């Protein structure tokens, strides 16, 4: 299948979407990668990845979670309650 100018224009229009502030998400000159995907022989999806926005920075691992055993090593709520009590006693002394 060849991409006609009409299809290219439709893709161009779809790429002009904006974020909640009204700013265009993808800028001219962004490094993009085009891929084809599909689940069945007749399905095709055009995937356009913005490589300029890579790498995605993942969150830090949870300090109280053992990822090999898949269990929490301690309950952080106990420390949180202690912090709250310390803050409230400090405020009472002032």
pLDDT in tens, 28-81: 888 999 998 888 888 888 888 888 877 777 888 888 888 899 888 877 777 778
0.75 cut: is pTM over it?
Answer: no
| pLDDT band at residue 10 under the 50/70/90 scheme | very high
Residue pair 34/47 in contact (Cβ under 8 Å)? The answer is yes
The predicted pLDDT at position 94 comes to 59
Q: Quick one: CA dihedral 7, 33, 43, 56, positive or negative?
A: negative
Nearest to 26 by CA among 55, 57, 50, 45: 50
């Amino acid at each position: 299948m060849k991409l006609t100018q009409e299809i290219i224009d439709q893709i161009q229009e779809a790429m002009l979407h904006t974020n909640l502030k009204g700013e265009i998400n993808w800028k001219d000159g962004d490094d993009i990668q085009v891929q084809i995907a599909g689940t069945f022989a007749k399905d095709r999806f055009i995937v356009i990845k913005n490589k300029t926005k890579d790498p995605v920075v993942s969150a830090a691992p949870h300090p109280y979670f053992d990822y090999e055993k898949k269990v929490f090593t301690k309950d952080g709520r106990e420390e949180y309650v202690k912090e709250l009590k310390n803050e409230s006693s400090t405020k009472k002394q002032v």
